[in-house]
Amino acid sequence: MEKRKIKFSLVYRDMWQSSGKYLPRVDQLVKVAPHIIEMGCFDRVETNGGGFEQINLLFGENPNNAVRKWTQPFNDAGIQTHMLDRSLNGLRMSPVPADVRKMMYKVKKAQGTDITRPFCGLNDPRNILDSIKYAKEGGMIAQAALSLTYSKVHTVEYYVKLADTLIKGGADEICLKDMAGIGRPAWLGKIVTGIKKLHPDTPLQYHSHSGPGFALASILEVCRAGVEYVDVAMEPLSWGTGHVDLLAVHAMLEDAGFDVPKINMDAYMKVRGLTQSFIEDFLGYYINPKNRFMNSLLIGPGLPGGMMGSLMADLESNLSSINKWKTKNNKPTLTQDDLLVKLFHEVEHIWPMVGYPPLVTPYSQYVKNLAMMNVMQLEKGKERWSMIADNIWDMLMGRGGKLPGKLAPELKALAKENGKEEFTDKPQSLYPDALDTFRKEMDEKGWDYGQDDEELFELAMHPEQYRAYKSGEAKKAFEADLAKKREEGAGLLEGTKKEEVPAAAAPTNFNPSSMIVDVDGEKFKVSVAYGENGTVESAAPASTEKAPASAPAPTVNGNAKEILAPLEGKFYLTKESSETAIKVGDEIKVGDLVGYVEAMKTFNAIKSDVSGKVVEVAFATGSEVEEDDVLIKIQ
């Protein structure tokens, strides 16, 4: 009997993001590409996606140049290139105007990307079907993705039906995206069998993270059931919160009787060595050593492995906030492991209550953030659901798509109490065309639209990051952070002494939470938020006010009422350019919005619990605040 062929795809971009926060610079990517080709075992290579381009902007690199240079060697070698896109959200965390979504596929095809892998964080076919249509119109292969998770509503029948809908809607291929690696092997095999029974000629590709420990067995099961392509990583960035290792998968499938390509081990060692050199150059500073381990505790909460890097960073600041309160109130403090277990339990508890959204970008962040807020409030003697950010409300109310399950009655009641209404129309209808606005901005600033309008696309997809890149402020902050990281050590390179680092070391990336952006001589404070894998996903729009100069606080009578910060984070008076910031002299009523505290990449609305006249705004927008800091004074 002829052996069935299994083809490999290297997720070189994702294996970096799943281990840490950043990717190699374009000069490093171009350096490693020929050796990846020389390995001779890859039919496909993942070359770009959301985090890739935003990190370029923060490096001070042009992302369009980076994508073209990185895809070119693979195009020349006849190796297909593929990218991940988030359907309604395009290449970012937030929804994208329809005309910008359509433009994305034309630009990416022109830049050398063959295949796009659109997924919806809610598995709403309406969002994915639009992407399939736009991708094919742009000349790309549309590989629609099923966001896999394991629950009572996410059954074999659920996923087979979803795949059937997407294939009938025009999908050329299907990807089984097991972003948390919690798909049980036998269950996955049944899904593949079901899809192949309906559509035997549609190619299937399997993508899994290795964190919980199922992935190697899952790969064997899905290959036996009919999958043609398997995503793999390679040392030194396989396993852990990343992906399965090429050599292990190759040996397993060869022994099981599949036809697998030979690996040029000399080239393998070159790629391995270069990847290690990129870690030692700077990227290792941003890789938490704990992300190099697998952890079966992830089976319960089902959190994606690629999110664990940013999760551990969040835990440190949240732990500090909780323990400050506990110390002040003479309560026993928590360790980071205590908090991690409490968080995992809370995710398991609330996930069914919020409608079982698949735990993938951005909804993995939303569920995790909501769980963390609940843990923080409960630890401080307050109630669950005390803080629900606006973008989490959008998820709960259907503004990003239909939830797979149903909201708990207590959340429905809370929504009604807060004036939130369920949205059942097509999500894209909330985000109409907007390219003309960005054309006008580029014309006014004298910026070139770029080859195939790619610079216009970049501004429209990542407005704040692109403006910061163009102003040069991003690169300045990047270089400053490089110096700090090398001085202090961090991540896998913690303990590296300054004198051990070459003076002319290449620049690396950074992780600013805010920056001052100079736009035509006016300075604006911008908040930068980070998404799955810790990469930059969104930024708060620049304030319509100039960064304020220091000024003495107004005199306030002692009977002023105070609006306090409900949690630690960054204080913003507005988060949308359409909002008007409150100011001294304004009259406000109970329930009026007075600002936001940004924490864990979400904006938490602060509403007044008193009425009166604003007599003091205690913090400038963008300022760091502690829990219980006085934000606004009212008389």
Residue 597 lies in a domain: yes
The reported pLDDT for the residue numbered 11 is 96
Quote the crossing angle between the two packed helices 336-350 and 363-379, to the nearest 10°: 120
User: Of 361, 395, 429, which residue constitutes the final position of a domain?
Assistant: 429
Residues 157 and 43 in one domain: yes
- Could you tell me what percent of the chain has a pLDDT over 70? 87
Q: Which residue has the higher pLDDT, 189 or 512?
A: 189
Instruction: Report pLDDT digits (tens) over 299-356.
Output: 777 776 556 555 666 677 788 888 888 888 899 998 888 888 888 889 889 999 999 9
Are 236 and 88 in a shared domain?
yes
With beta carbons less than 8 A apart as the criterion, state whether 566 and 604 touch: yes
Decide the pairing of beta strands 569-572 and 623-625: antiparallel
Look at residue 499 and tell me whether its pLDDT is greater than 50. no
Same-domain status, 255 and 383: no
**b/e map of 126-154 (b: 16 or more CB within 10 Å)?**
bbbbbbbebbbebebbbbbbbbbbbbeeb
Q: Establish if 614 belongs to a structural domain.
A: yes
Residues 131 and 12 in one domain: yes
3-class state of residue 602 by DSSP: strand
In terms of pTM, does the model score above 0.85?
Answer: no
How far apart, in Å, are the Cα atoms of 518 and each of 455, 473, 521, 542, 623? Answer: 19, 7, 6, 10, 18
Q: What is the CATH number of the domain that holds 573?
A: 2.40.50.100
167 or 368, which is more confident?
167
In terms of residue numbers, what domain contains 615?
513-635
Helix 363-379 and helix 308-328: axis angle, to 10°? 10
Chain mean pLDDT for the chain: 86
* The pLDDT of residue 515 is above 60: no
Write the DSSP string, 231-296: EEB-TTSBSTTSB-BHHHHHHHHHHTT-B-----HHHHHHHHHHHHHHHHHTGGGG--GGGGS--G
Secondary structure (3-state) at 444 = helix
Comparison of pLDDT for 324 and 158, the residue scoring more = 158
548 — pLDDT class (breaks 50, 70, 90): very low
Classify 584 as helix, strand or coil.
coil
**pLDDT for the residue numbered 248:** 98
* Mean pLDDT to the nearest integer, 30-46: 98
pLDDT at 504: 37
% of the chain exceeding 90 in pLDDT: 54
Joined tokens for residue 524: 């604006």
Whether residue 245 is found in the same domain as residue 304: no
What pLDDT was estimated at residue 530? 41
Per-residue model confidence (pLDDT) at position 6: 98
State how many domains the chain has: 3
Across the range 440-457, mean pLDDT stands at 97
- Report yes or no on 134 lying in a domain: yes
- The helix or strand, by DSSP H or E, that contains position 51, with its residue range, turns out to be helix 50-59
Same domain as 213, residue 133: yes
* pLDDT tens digits, 191-205: 999 999 999 999 999
Higher pLDDT, 591 or 44: 44
- The verdict on 57 and 204 lying in the same domain is yes
Q: Is residue 622 part of a domain?
A: yes
Report yes or no on 437 lying in a domain.
Answer: no
Residues 227 and 322 in one domain: no
CATH code assigned at 81: 3.20.20.70
Residue 549 lies in a domain: yes
Predicted pLDDT of residue 115: 98
The residue out of 385, 406, 429 marking a domain boundary is 429
Say whether both 261 and 142 belong to one domain: yes
- For residue 615, being part of any structural domain is answered with yes
**Among the three residues 368, 399, 429, which one is the final residue of a domain in this structure?**
429
Q: Is the domain of 43 the same as that of 98? A: yes
- Is residue 307 located within the same domain as residue 421? yes
The confidence band for 601, taking pLDDT boundaries of 50, 70 and 90, is low
* Together in a domain, 238 and 377: no
Please name the residue that has the structure tokens 């323990």.
Answer: 323
Instruction: Say if 445 falls within a structural domain.
Output: no
